[in-house]
Amino acid sequence: MHTILPLLTIEQSINAYKHLLKPDPGFGMDFFADDFDAKDIVLLEDNKAGSQGIPIRFNYYALILRLKGETKRTINQFDYVSKAQSLQLINPGSIFSFEDTSAVAKTYVLLFDKNFIEGESSLLGVEGNLLNFHQKYQEDVLLDMTQFAEVVTLYEQLNDELRSKKNDYKIISRLLIIQLLYHLKRAKLHSERKQDLTRAQQISSEFLNSIEEHYMQNKSVKEYAHLLGITPQHLSETIKSTLHHTALFYIHVRLIKEIQYLLCFSDMSIKQISHALNFETLSQLGRFFKRYEGMNPKAYRLKNR
């Protein structure tokens, strides 16, 4: 039986990253204002270079437009180097972290609840096909100059609506978000990344997705090879050749992210975390974590919480 693990709300996530925000921003909502409301929809600007965030998992959508500089984003088992003019949607339930890799930074961060966007569900397509599409294809896309200008304009219109709060501003905000999601879909469909994958690339993608589904139970290459219907040797050689790390490395990285998240954002004891992630003993968890992080779980919790 799976342990129900916590998902952060918009408000909890912003509180975790509030050190990246400045009062009275030129764009977006002011976290430090008395009337700031971290519900339904929030638009923020992050222009702090060199920023990074420990892994979090949340219950809302995050639509991120990078305007300046580069950042490394990790979503579940996938790493993305996001450049200026890139757009990316992060889905609810994903485990997410980031680290800026350039001396300049400017990002528009749009956060919105699923219930908020589904207020205009008829515009999302039959049974939410638009959101289902983005659930399947979560990679970022690099916009061309025309696409980028159109998307920036939509963000600016959304900024005006959220700041002015005129009649029906939430309805108009929903419509603007839906336009952004359709622009993102169009860009994904025309991206050069959507080329046909080789068999090795398909196996690698299936392996990483399988980790996300089974990391709490399966911790060996043999178990994942069985799920994929190939031999452990074939899986190991394929992952090494396509992703340049061992298959076991990716299994362990996903577990480390989960432990980091639970240590920082849950009230679970370290013993409870060990049980939830199916480690045989508490000391086994401690040795595993220290091998990757250089400190034991208790020290990590005290440092980052």
Q: DSSP letter for 58, please.
A: B
Angle between helices 221-228 and 199-214 (to 10 degrees): 120
Is 91's pLDDT higher than 60? yes
Question: 218-236: per-residue pLDDT in tens?
Answer: 899 999 999 999 999 999 9
Q: What is the mean pLDDT of residues 65-82?
A: 89
Nearest-Å Rg of the Cα atoms of the chain is 20
In three-state secondary structure terms, 28 is coil
Distance CA 196, CA 52 (A): 33
Where on the phi/psi map is residue 275: left (φ > 0), alpha (ψ -120 to 50), or beta? alpha
DSSP run (H or E) holding 131: helix 129-136
Task: Decide: 47 and 107 in contact? Cβ < 8 Å.
Answer: yes
Q: What per-residue confidence (pLDDT) applies to 169?
A: 92
Q: Under 8 Å CB-to-CB from 122, ≥6 apart: which residues?
A: none
Distance CA 37, CA 12 (A): 12
Interstrand relation of 141-142 and 86-90 (parallel, antiparallel or unpaired):
antiparallel
As beta bridge partners, residue 50 has none
Q: Under 8 Å CB-to-CB from 155, ≥6 apart: which residues?
A: 43, 65, 108, 110, 180
The ranges assigned to domains in the chain are: 10-194, 199-304
The b-or-e profile of 230-244 (16+ CB within 10 A means b, else e) is eeeeebbebbeebbe
Q: What per-residue confidence (pLDDT) applies to 10?
A: 93
CATH code of the region 199-304? 1.10.10.60
For domain 10-194, is the CATH number 3.30.930.10? no
Rounded to two decimals, what is the model's pTM?
Answer: 0.78
In three-state secondary structure terms, 42 is strand
Task: Decide: 96 and 72 in contact? Cβ < 8 Å.
Answer: no
Distance CA 291, CA 76 (A): 21
Q: What is the mean pLDDT of residues 101-112?
A: 92
Short-list 115, 103, 107, 223, CA closest to 174: 115
Is 125's pLDDT higher than 60? no
Question: 234-264: per-residue pLDDT in tens?
Answer: 999 999 998 888 999 999 988 998 898 889 8
Is 128's pLDDT higher than 70? no
Is 213's pLDDT higher than 60? yes
